[in-house]
Amino acid sequence: MAVVSRSYTKLIITITGAAKPYVFNTRVIDELVIGRVDPLDGAPPDIDLTPYQGRSRRVAHKHASIVKLADALYLLDKGSHHGTFVNGLRLFRGQMRMLRDGDHIRLGDIVLNVRLEPSPMARR
């Protein structure tokens, strides 16, 4: 389903092996950067893979982004060297792919699982 803001209220990103997921309100997402802390300014991305050995597992500082366009969420590769994959399909620099509930994202050697939680209105 392409319409995110009307049908889903939460984006839940779970990192394989992590105890706690990242949870976002889909209505306020413009762009979520996924990557590692920038060593020059110490700024963390929205989804920080530094605690999961992001550097040694080949994740770039600004590896990819989740962006909302026309009420749908897309994964965008930001030019990473070690690849951005959705369900095993590689995205190339600047390429986007619509995210769906149950998708698996791989950045370098780290796997993230996508869950879109339906809004109460969509469940009726």
Cα–Cα distance, 93 to 98 (Å, whole number)? 15
Pick the residue with more confidence: 54 or 20? Answer: 20
Task: Tell me the whole-structure pTM to 2 decimals.
Answer: 0.87
Q: Residue 49: pLDDT above 70?
A: yes
Q: Residue 121: pLDDT above 80?
A: no
Q: Residue 31: pLDDT above 80?
A: yes
Determine contact, residues 75/66, Cβ cutoff 8 Å. Answer: yes
Residue 63 structural domain:
4-123
What mean pLDDT value characterizes the chain? 88
pLDDT digits (tens, 9 = 90+) for 63-94: 999 999 988 999 999 988 888 999 999 999 99
Q: Residue 52: pLDDT above 60?
A: yes
What mean pLDDT do residues 2-30 have? 83
Look at the chain and report how many structural domains it folds into.
Answer: 1
Distances (CA, A) of 73 to 19, 38, 96, 100, 117: 24, 25, 10, 8, 13
What mean pLDDT do residues 16-39 have? 92
What mean pLDDT do residues 95-107 have? 96
CATH number at residue 91: 2.60.200.20
What mean pLDDT do residues 3-30 have? 85
